[in-house]
Amino acid sequence: MSMPTFHGSGAKARSTSSGSLFPASHLAAFLLTTSIFFVWGMSNNLTDILVQQFRKSFELSNVEAQLVQTAIFAAYFVMATPAALLLRRFGYKVGLVVGLVTFGVGTLSFLPAAAVGRYTPFLIALFVTGCGQAFLETAANPLIAQFGDSATSERRLNFSQAFNPPGTVAGVLIGTWFIFSGVDKTPAEVAAMKAQGTYTAYLHGETMRVVPTYVAMGCAVLLLAVFIARAKFPASLDEKLLVDTTQDKASAGAYGRLLRNKGLMFAVVAQFFYVGAQISTWSNLIFYLRRYTTLSDKGSGYFLTGTLIALMVGRIVSVPLMRWIAPSRLIAIYAVINCGLIAVGMFDPGMTGSIALLATSFFMSVMFPTIFALGVKGLGEDTKIAGSFLVMAILGGAVFPPLLSWIGKELGSLALGYVLPGIGYVVVAVYALMAPRLSPPVGADTVANTPLYP
């Protein structure tokens, strides 16, 4: 059975516009799940602010500061499979609640980390936060994709993911307003403060600026966990899954089936390179702006906000286009455009290059949810495990940011380090062009393409 809706712009491409986009029932559960996309968007892009703030307050190198991203995104790799196994046993709702509680514990851990006053406890707190986010992404993405007609899964996931960019914008603005002090000490001022013995207290004060924001976010996340726990989800997701012997035998070979699934495996590779490209572009952007423009920390924070607005606008514009353009073709076009914009950022550093890097966010907009939806399409009961593979691919966000900084250091130019996200977009383009021709899922049948509920 061939995979529908991914073959060009003809009748098959138009099939993406048929069917109901939203679930006929349990709309409250759908909307609560969608709100989670806003929450982790805010958290993910607050880390871009943390990279610069910790570099300043702990006097780190660029590579050391990027361990903030490594701590968060390495957790996705570690926890995605345990999260998928929990989902298979207890359902999506339990996965969401566990993820939110873990997320909240991680962010509240910023308070004791600040009391210790060292970098490592913050990295541990971020890792715990990332573990919570891994549960949320493993649960929320496939849940939304299956929350209705399978013919509209890409559009539905892109709809929910559209709430992620407002969260990212809110995260960067909150970080810019409440974490960045706007105080940049000159070398002479630093020397004077060291001579007076006040520099250590100044650095501690800069570190403490991160605590109120993260504690407040932790409280909000735990409150959302209460709402999710009390919400009525469909019975197939809301109740403990009783797995009989037949189901155990059927699910035992899931990993083998999925590892032999060329479409899923290539989607995992593409997701790894895409997430790496996205996170490394944003995470190093403040360093890029401080080096090649005259913008301050706060000015750079506002510029970073512009990249996230571009992402949001890109999703608003692009999701309707999927009614007429096959999703795989659209992200192929966008990946090629981003290769060109990255080249401008590399070879014309300054405000022109900065604007080019900002513009890549517009074309990033639909890549993650589209690759995800294409990867899990038609996998039926294997969807949760397949989703965990795609969440594990978020490891790219742990690897690329420090690697970009290291390449820039070795080449003597941070701008040239942006060759790394350029390579990422090449991989995405190749995947998107090949996706329509990849073999269908092993063992796929009509049942596998049926959503969990209407």
Domains of the chain: 11-240+256-449 (1.20.1250.20)
- The pLDDT value given to residue 234: 67
Q: Closest by alpha carbon to 397, among 280, 269, 270, 281? A: 280
CA distance 312 to 27: 23
Q: Closest by alpha carbon to 169, among 356, 314, 22? A: 314
CA distance 242 to 237: 12
Contact between 371 and 267 (Cβ < 8 Å):
yes
**What is the pLDDT confidence band of residue 21, given thresholds at 50, 70 and 90?**
low
Residue 310 backbone class (left: φ over 0; alpha: ψ -120 to 50; beta: rest): alpha
pLDDT tens for each residue of 338-350: 999 999 999 999 9
Contact between 57 and 168 (Cβ < 8 Å):
no
| Mean of the per-residue pLDDT values of the chain | 83
Q: What percent of the chain has pLDDT over 90?
A: 46
> Which of the pair, 168 or 226, is modelled with greater confidence?
226
CA distance 7 to 186: 58
Give pTM, 2 decimals: 0.78
pLDDT tens for each residue of 155-209: 777 788 778 878 888 988 999 999 988 777 888 888 899 888 888 888 889 899 9
Strand runs (DSSP E) across 170-268, as ranges? none
> In which residue are the tokens 């996309």 written?
37
Contact between 358 and 303 (Cβ < 8 Å):
yes
> In which residue are the tokens 């899954």 written?
241
- The pLDDT value given to residue 244: 38
pLDDT tens for each residue of 43-61: 888 988 999 899 989 989 9
Rg of the chain's alpha carbons, rounded to an integer?
A: 22
